[in-house]
Structure 1
Amino acid sequence: PQAASTQRSRASLTLRFACLLLALQCHSPLSRGGDEVPLRVATFNVSLYGNHAGELTARLESGEDEQAKRLAAIIQIVDPDVLLLNEIDYDADQRAVELFNQRYLAQPQSIDGVVNPRGIHFRYRFAAPCNTGIPSGFDLNRDGRVGGEVGSDDYAADCWGYGRYPGQYGMAILSKLPIDVDKSRTFRQFRWIDMDGAALPDFASSTSPDDWYEAEALERFPLSSKSHWDVVIRTPLGELHVLASHPTPPVFDGPEDRNGLRNSDEIRFWRDYVSWTADKPAYHRDDGGLQGALAPDASFVILGDLNADPVDGDSTSAIADLLDCERVDASQAPASRGGAEQGQRQAGANAVQQGDPSTDTLDAPDDPGPGNLRVDYVLPSANLAIVRSGVFWPAGDERHARVIASRKAASSDHRMVWIDLVGKKNK
């Protein structure tokens, strides 16, 4: 069985690689090709954060931070029109995002001999508060203590979203196209208990249901570990709803599975949002008080590090249910040669996984595991047409491989995922 799983459907991978190479040749990533210029939408967990508030901003000021330069080079190569950044610090004046945009993305980057002739210019951005690093005032991990010193694990564990300081692991959307802020919605404060069928954690030894968290804590407990955003972008294809989030990892808990359950419901939130058909009103109440799900004819793309692999790892069925949703087109899983190459080279937990390694987007520890996983997604609505897609994970013989990492520095443990869309499908 292990030998069979190591093969990972190599015949199908050969065909996938051939298609991927053809797509990359047609799209030398700075040109799209074809009669109709596609809209490129991407997500990237950039792992840009510090040990304390303000550290990242200080690092970015010079324009010479090595990690940020590598990240910028990758983004310039892929050249998306709309980009979600996961794990970039949020601050009230959005200084970190502004610095990264102006002093790195907009500047041509040269990394280990790979030269980008020009920067990439995002005229529009969207960033809003997240729940990470916001103290709850409750003992959420049930260790007998409430909080701790800012910057400590004790502090982070009792925040509404794990973070050693407010704004750590934030999000931002960068766009070359106008953002309609007035039509956009955020769900950061949406309470977990207000979700239909909320899967709340429970003490296994208790006779009372859903009692891991104190009743007072549940009255305030948000579903989102960061936030859920519906950001409307005006594109040549019409209005596009960018549905962005970054659910908590389904690990770092105990038998109560509090993080696994939260991850599952954070993902299910989007499935319900795009496909609500129940007779009763949708439960989705945004931070402005408006209640309702997405219109059934709306075009959307679900973006983000969802911290869930449909086959391997510790996630539940929520991600598989999202991929199977009729309103979502998950027929074309973005892939790379580098993912397959590294899955075989790194071995360890990768050798016994069942998923297709070419679709992996996270370079995770291999011993003891979990191994590389597919956790980052760009999932368009079924009424949009996908031209091509990919994961930026170059194989060792590809010229961009050195941009990912060198002995000097690494970019991120995640890989950028992108898709090209050309318009609505014929009904």
Structure 2
Amino acid sequence: MGFLASLKAFWHVPALALGALSALGAPVQAETIRIAYFHTELSAKGPGLLLRDLGKEKRPKQLAAVLSILSRAAPDIILLGDIDYDAGGQTLRALQAALTKSGLSLAHAYAGAPNTGVPTGYDLDGDGRLEEPEDAQAYGEFRGAGGLAILSRYPILHDEVLEFTDLLWSDLPAADLPTLPDPDVLQVLRLSSTGHWDVPIQLPNGSRLHLLPLHAMAPVFDGPEDRNGRRNADQQRFWADYLNGWTPALQRALGPQAVVLGTLNADPLDGEARPGAVARLRGHPKLQDPAPSAEGAAEASARQGGVNTAHRGDPALDTVDWPDDRPSDPGNLRVDYILPSRTLTVAGSGLHWPGAAEVELLEEAETASRHRLIWVDLAF
């Protein structure tokens, strides 16, 4: 696919425009809304540094690349991963302003405080030292590091948002809890790494779309107890249980239009996630998997080789470019997902992974993040 063809496939007609383009560029006689997810890897080394960089006239290359990709993807609603959180929302407002200058106006925003960097009071990694990033509710050099954020063209119903971020892991029904040296840890350890939120968005047709975001922890960096692997699987299972009608406090029944999205850190066939972990959501009877793909992803897997050659999954679905040289490396995997309700009509989907021939686009994507942006167009 050449440069112009790639831009055509990646370009998006503004929301609610008739004759919008599908993933292959064919006309779709319906009104569409583009939902996107991008794990940006923009989290900085300290609080306020991402906000500082957003305010610079000449921004760092990574930040500039992320902004460029977002502007060309032109989502109507996007969940961003690895965006540092501040209680005043200054970082999010600065990000909105930067995108507006680049031609993408997403006037509505939401971000809840993540569990990253929140102390547990326990030595979780067993190294004899407390209050390290490894000992927090979720790894973070500071409170709010690498959180989630939602930007939207359409109003977010803030008063109706439900947050389950402080839910204890042990309070999840049938939680797959590990055996730990100090079992008291489980009296304070929360389920979420970043957060579980139910965020309703008011659509132009009068209906509501519920975003159910997630950034599950990596199922590695632990011991034989598989604490992180078990927690990763249960973080995903939370939304499966929620779709089945369970909530921690039975606050409300979920509407028919919902989208589960984010980094699940679990590939359907490869990697170190617990077997079947991601299948609960991908195979949930209320959800569908549009499976965004790109020829560039398959091309990258073949070109890089290494552990990728032993992977069983379709490389065109890979969403992250991780190391692949050593036998212990994870390689390229599918870890990022957008899973809409079956009641919603998917008009198209895509994965922004340019091929090697698209030199400038590929360089930009690699500069922005190891992850690639994914999107799904919903027809109404």
TM-score by length of 1: 0.81
- Give the one of 176, 187, 192 matched to 1:219: 187
Aligned position for 2:215: 246
Question: What do residues 48-91 of structure 1 show as CA deviations (whole Å, max 9, x unaligned)?
Answer: 11222222222222142221111011111111100001101001
- Report the counterpart of residue 229 of structure 1 in structure 2: 197
**CA contact 1:23–1:388 (8 Å) conserved in 2:** no
- Rg bigger for which structure? 1
Dislocated runs of 4+, deviation >6 Å: 21-24
SS in 2 for 1:106: helix
The AA in structure 2 aligned to 1:240 is L
SS at structure 2 position matched to 1:92: coil
Distance, in Å, in 1 between the alignment partners of 2:202 and 2:13 is 22
Residue 146 of structure 1 corresponds to 130
The equivalent residue for 1:179 is: 156
State the shift of 1:413 in Å.
Answer: 0.7
Asked whether the equivalents of residues 154 and 204 of structure 2 are also in contact (C-alpha less than 8 Å), the reply is no
Unaligned runs of 5+ in 1: 1-16, 109-118, 148-154, 203-210, 277-281
Per the alignment, in what secondary structure is the counterpart of residue 47 of structure 1? Answer: coil
1:311 aligned residue (259, 269, 280): 269
Distance in 1 between residues matched to 2:9 and 2:62, nearest whole Å: 29
Q: Secondary structure at the match of 1:171?
A: strand
Q: Which residue in the other structure is 1:415 paired with?
A: 372
Alignment of 1:284-295 (within 5 A): 284-285=247-248, 290-292=249-251, 294-295=253-254
Matches within 5 A, 1:244-323: 244-276=213-245, 282=246, 284-285=247-248, 290-292=249-251, 294-295=253-254, 297-316=255-274, 317-323=276-282
CA drift of 1:27 comes to 6.5
Q: Secondary structure at the match of 1:67?
A: helix
Equivalent pair of 1:273/1:294 in contact (CA under 8 Å): no
Deviation at 1:159, TM superposition (A): 0.4
Tell me if structure 1 keeps the 8 A contact 2:10–2:72.
Answer: no
RMSD: 2.0
- Measured after TM superposition, the shift of residue 236 of structure 1 is 3.2
1:249-281 residue CA offsets vs partner (Å, 9 max, x unmatched): 0001110111000000000001111123xxxxx
- 2:43 and 2:82 in contact (8 A); partners too: yes
Question: What secondary structure is seen at the aligned counterpart in 2 of 1:291?
Answer: coil
Contact 1:123-1:176 within 8 A present in 2 as well: yes
Give the one of 400, 404, 407 matched to 2:361: 400
Give the Cα separation in 1 of the matches to 2:345 and 2:58: 39
8 A contact 1:160–1:225 mirrored in 2: yes
Q: Which amino acid aligns with 1:120?
A: L
Q: Deviations over 1:119-154 (max 9, x none)?
A: 10111000111100011111122223322xxxxxxx
- Counterpart of 1:96 in structure 2: which amino acid? T
Inter-CA distance 314–27: structure 2 relative to 1 (3 Å threshold): closer
CA change 1:63–1:200 in 2 (3 A) is farther
Gaps of 5+ in 2: 15-19, 22-27
Contact preservation (8 Å) 2:96, 2:107 = no
> Residue 136 of structure 1 contacts residue 159 of structure 1 at CA under 8 Å; is this kept in 2?
yes
Deviation of the 1:294 alpha carbon: 4.2
Structure 1 residue 391 and structure 2 residue 351: aligned?
yes
Matched, 1:164 2:122: no
What letter corresponds to residue 273 of structure 1 in structure 2? Y
Query: How many residue pairs get matched?
Result: 361
Q: For 1:324 and 1:239, locate their aligned partners in 2 and report how far apart those are by CA, in whole Å.
A: 23
Contact 1:334–1:417 (CA<8 Å) still a contact in 2?
yes
C-alpha separation in 1, matches of 2:100 and 2:181: 47
Q: Give 1:306 shift.
A: 1.1
SS at match of 1:388: strand
Deviations 1:273-317 (A, max 9, x none): 1123xxxxx3x22xxxx435643x521000101111111101121
SS of 1:58's equivalent in the other structure is helix
Aligned to 1:28: 11
Matched, 1:123 2:123: no
Counterparts in 2 of 1:341-360, with a 5 A limit? Answer: 341-360=299-318
CA deviations 1:146-178 (Å, max 9, x no partner) are: 22xxxxxxx101101110111111111000000
Instruction: Determine if contact 1:329/1:381 at 8 Å carries over to the other structure.
Output: yes
Paired with 1:143 and 1:256, the residues of 2 have a C-alpha distance of 16
Cross-structure match for 2:74: 79
Write the distance in 1 (CA, Å) between the matches of 2:216 and 2:178: 16
SS at match of 1:140: coil
Secondary structure of 2:297's counterpart equals: helix
Aligned to 2:297: 339
Q: Secondary structure at the match of 2:65?
A: helix
Mean Cα displacement is larger for which, 51-60 or 73-82?
Answer: 51-60
TM-score normalised according to structure 2 size: 0.90
Say if 2:37 is the partner of 1:53.
no
Give the letter aligned to residue 186 of structure 1: E
- Give the corresponding residue for 1:329: 288
Q: Deviations over 1:346-371 (max 9, x none)?
A: 11111110111111101101122210
Q: Is the 8 A contact 1:201 1:212 kept in 2?
A: no
- Cα deviation, 1:18-57, whole Å, max 9, x if unaligned, reads xxx9997577334534332211001100011122222222
